[in-house]
Amino acid sequence: MANRGLNKVQLIGNLGADPDFRSTPSGTSVVSLRVATTESWNNKDGQQEQKTEWHKVVLWGKLAEIARDYLKKGKQVYLEGRLQTSSWEDKEGQKRYTTEVVANQMLMLGGRGQDEPDRGDVGQPETVASRDEDDLPF
């Protein structure tokens, strides 16, 4: 069996800001998200401690449009995708790197807020895949 590797990320967290929506010059939709995940544990003295990690997440195409329309700061979301690292040179010529999650699946968690449109799924999470409906085999 060939060694193909595995690059898979699963996150459940809360949005730290509203989605940042934009379009590429060719018209492809893209959204950037800031997602916080928090870990809690008891230290050796029995006191509860927490640590929050912030994640950069990118969504493309129809998934980006859905995130733009339905996600807001503070909403809890499940995201699944892969890690991708990019590099560039800054103004001083130093090489810089950033790593982000390129998500291809999203599950909106929690109930519908008062200012959100009625999607007919009151209180039910919605699974959203990155496929277009035309790609489905049925």
Q: Which domains does the chain have, with CATH numbers?
A: 9-38+50-133 (2.40.50.140)
Beta-carbon neighbour count of residue 22 at 10 Å? 11
Please compute Rg for the chain using Cα positions.
18
List Cα–Cα distances, 95 to 56, 57, 84, 125, 127, in angstroms.
Answer: 19, 22, 16, 41, 38
pLDDT tens for the chain, 138 residues: list them. 677 899 999 999 999 999 999 999 999 999 999 999 999 999 999 999 999 999 999 999 999 999 999 999 999 999 999 999 999 999 999 999 999 999 999 999 975 554 554 443 333 344 444 444 444 443
Spatial CA neighbour of 12 closest among 64, 62, 66, 80: 80
Does the global pTM surpass 0.85? no
